[in-house]
Amino acid sequence: MDNASNKKTCMQKLETLLHMHDIEFDTLDCLVMCFPHVMHICMTHVIKSFTDDELTSIANTWIGVFPDEDEHKAYVEAVRLDPITMGHDIVWIIQASGLHRDEFLDTVKTGNMKNWFKGPMGEAEQVPGLELLHDVKTHWDSTYAMINRLHALHLAVNYFLALPNQKELKDYILSSPQWLVLEDFEHILQVGSIQINEFQS
């Protein structure tokens, strides 16, 4: 069962009906919540807490992680800008338009052939020929799936958004710190994703 309060009420009613027929039944003992749903709720709270303003206000505790003060400030600012929401926007703006979606897939295909996509050291990198995924609130684990796919395609995404013929999309380009925050989110949510998939398999 999920965590909706009416499920407990249902079990209590079942207990009453069974007791009327002299059948032993204990609501609390038999009420087993759906673990994947519990994990999904936990991950939702993690996401909310990670982008909470109060978290960025205590960011001095992260100095050991970012010895360079400029990197530290850039990361905190990236968290404050909520890159998950910005990731949602990127997926929506590309996938909502059939033209943009086709152009993006063409960019991935052509970019791989012509070595357009460069890694941190300037080396050519191949990008998987996949579409971006929407985060659907009613689908458990879809936030992780969206970020995971977005990260896998991030070189092509930034390249596409920066194309001269996509001037209206340039404001959606994510900075390196924002991609780093998204990658950190991916690692955090991956823990819940593994657990959810194991229980659903």
**What single string gives the DSSP state of each residue in 52-109?**
-HHHHHTGGGGTTT--SHHHHHHHHHHHHT-HHHHHHHHHHHHHS-HHHHHHHHHHHH
Q: What is the mean pLDDT of residues 125-152?
A: 89
Does 7 share its domain with 78?
no
Residues 12, 85, single domain; the answer is no
CA angle 50, 142, 134 (to 5 degrees): 105
Distance, in Å, from the CA atom of 73 to the CA atom of 80, rounded to the nearest integer, reads: 10
Q: Are both 193 and 137 inside the same structural domain?
A: yes
According to DSSP, the residues that pair with 118 across neighbouring strands are 124
Q: How many CA atoms lie within 13 A of 121 on its CB side?
A: 1
| pTM of the shown model | 0.73
Residues 5 and 28 in one domain: yes
Which H helix or E strand runs over 179? Answer: helix 176-200
Q: Does one domain contain both 142 and 50? A: yes
The model's pLDDT over 16-69, given as tens digits with 9 standing for 90+, comes to 888 888 888 787 776 666 666 677 677 777 777 766 655 555 555 555 566 677
- Domain with 23, as residue range(s), is 1-32
Same domain for 4 and 62, yes or no, is: no
Please indicate, yes or no, whether residues 16 and 87 belong to a single structural domain of this protein: no
Number of domains in the chain: 2
Mean pLDDT of 191-201: 67
Please tell me whether residues 20 and 112 are part of one structural domain: no
Say whether both 160 and 63 belong to one domain.
yes
Specify whether 4 is located in the same domain as 56. no
CB neighbourhood size of 40 (10 A): 20
Whether residue 128 is found in the same domain as residue 143:
yes
Most confident of the following: 1-5, 42-46, 89-93: 89-93
Contact 36, 2 (CB under 8 A): no
Say how far apart CA 148 and CA 190 lie, in whole Å.
9
State the pLDDT at residue 42: 73
| 190 and 105 part of one domain | yes
Asked if residues 156 and 111 have their Cβ atoms less than 8 Å apart, the reply is: yes
Closest CA to 111 of 145, 149, 158: 158
pLDDT score of 191 more than 60: yes
